Homo-oligomer: A and B are copies of this chain.
Amino acid sequence: MISVDEARGQVLAGLQVTGRETVPLANACGRVLAVPVTARLAQPPADVSAMDGYAVRAADAVQGARLSVIGEAPAGHPFAGSIGPGQAVRLFTGSFVPPGADTVLLQEDATEADGTVTVNESCVAAKHIRRAGQDFTAGAELIAAGRRLTARDVGLAAAGNHPWLQVYRRPRIAILATGDEISLPGEAIGPGGIVSSNAHMLAAFVTAAGGEPMVLPIAGDDLAAISAGADAARGADLLVTTGGASVGVYDLVQPGLQARGLALDFWKIAMRPGKPLMFGRLESLPLLGLPGNPVSAYVCAVLFLGPAIARMSGQPGGAPETERARLTVAMKANEHREDYVRATLERGEHGWLATPFSVQDSGMLSTLARADALIRRPPHQEALAEGAEVEILRL
């Protein structure tokens, strides 16, 4: 058996980053930037007023002085001339400060009447002015390649005058659920049958992780159907299978794909739930074989598929981020497998409090859906008392 980290490292090493594509800025949120965004202009483009008021010379603007208002400069309409001694120009937030002025007299510190403004509060030089380039200068790198773009990044790229961005193509993930027993929701269910939950759960997971899912038709437990699934996955960046990944006589994914030239690593991973995992390659198409059990499939998706999608999208794709929590109940010692325990979370005085579900059966999708987190327990972790600190993956 190999460890979770070791298995993830091998999966990530076997993947390639997708190609680049150009997308409109308006569709770029959530995508991974492939080429850095540099500013095409300075922001602000000139010294601008941070407040409503008057552009003045600080030397003139002493309490009681009366200055001649020679014009106004609403945002988008700069004043054409420059300011001389004893003069002022009416400004608003965002107005360009005209040449000759060196400070802004606040509107609340002034009284204007008949083309003259009276200074009620003496000014200090260089106040209430945002300097040209204070936010960024032309040519400055605004966003580094490899970043998954937020709404704020979209705003920043817009401010830097980019209508288009180059991002990595979303990895296309083909999903092949296998098994004679499974039907799609709403379809006829055979005797001994159940409804397929993995394919659409994984498809939603893929979308949320930034990939593009392709749900392939369910393959029954026969070699030809599984081989046909492999054919249908052509054009994908990764084929994910669920079920049939063990070594029993009805576990046909391995032999079915071998008929299409599968080169395979098969691992028993020292983890619970989700022991068996396949990773390999059908010619140039990487393959990740997840367990058929929905809880195991989902936990393996969190631990392996999410990082794989990140890696193919142009990000490092390491272990999922963990946080710390305190247990509300004691837990027994762990055995030799890394354990991912479904738990609910609540806020305590000093951070998260985690309560594991009392029944951890990996057949219970209802428990998984209600879980807020997985508690990660390293192999051989000793028994934990109520209040002990644990590592959690928030779901």
Contact = CB atoms under 8 A, between A and B. Distances in A.
Interface of A: 25-26, 28-30, 41, 43-46, 50, 52, 73-78, 92-96, 130, 134-136, 142-143, 150-164, 179-182, 184-186, 189-205, 207-208, 215, 221, 246, 248, 250, 292-294, 298, 324, 350-351, 361, 363-369, 371, 395
Contacts of A207: 29
A395 B155 CA distance: 14
A163 B248 CA distance: 31
A80 to B, nearest CB: 9
A248 B202 CA distance: 53
Contact of A163 (B136, B150, B185): B185
Given A26-B204, A76-B180, A163-B185, 9 more contacts: A77-B181, A134-B364, A143-B369, A151-B202, A152-B201, A152-B371, A155-B204, A155-B294, A156-B369
Consensus secondary structure, chain A interface: loop
Chain multiplicity (copies):
2
A75 B200 contact: no
A271 B260 CA distance: 63
A185 B203 contact: no
20 contacts: A25-B200, A30-B208, A43-B365, A52-B246, A73-B192, A75-B192, A78-B192, A94-B194, A135-B363, A135-B365, A151-B205, A152-B298, A152-B369, A154-B204, A155-B197, A156-B369, A157-B185, A158-B196, A158-B200, A324-B351
A116 to B, nearest CB: 18
B221 A74 contact: yes
Contacts of A155: 197-198, 200-201, 204, 294, 298, 365, 368-369
Minimum-distance CB pairs A-B, first 5: A155-B201, A76-B181, A76-B180, A163-B186, A29-B204
A365 to B, nearest CB: 5
A25 B367 CA distance: 20
A158 B369 contact: no
A154 B94 CA distance: 48
B369 A150 contact: yes
Interface core residue of A74, A95, A369 (most chain B CB under 10 Å): A369
Nearest to A52: B248
Given A163-B184, A181-B75, A369-B142, A364 B135 contact: yes
Contacts of A135: 363-367
Contacts of A163: 184-186
Contacts of A248: 52, 92
A93 B246 CA distance: 10
Nearest to A363: B130
B363 A192 contact: no
Contact of A363 (B29, B134, B350, B364): B134
A101 to B, nearest CB: 15
Contacts of A199: 158
Contacts of A78: 191-192
A15 to B, nearest CB: 21
A13 to B, nearest CB: 26
Nearest to A95: B192
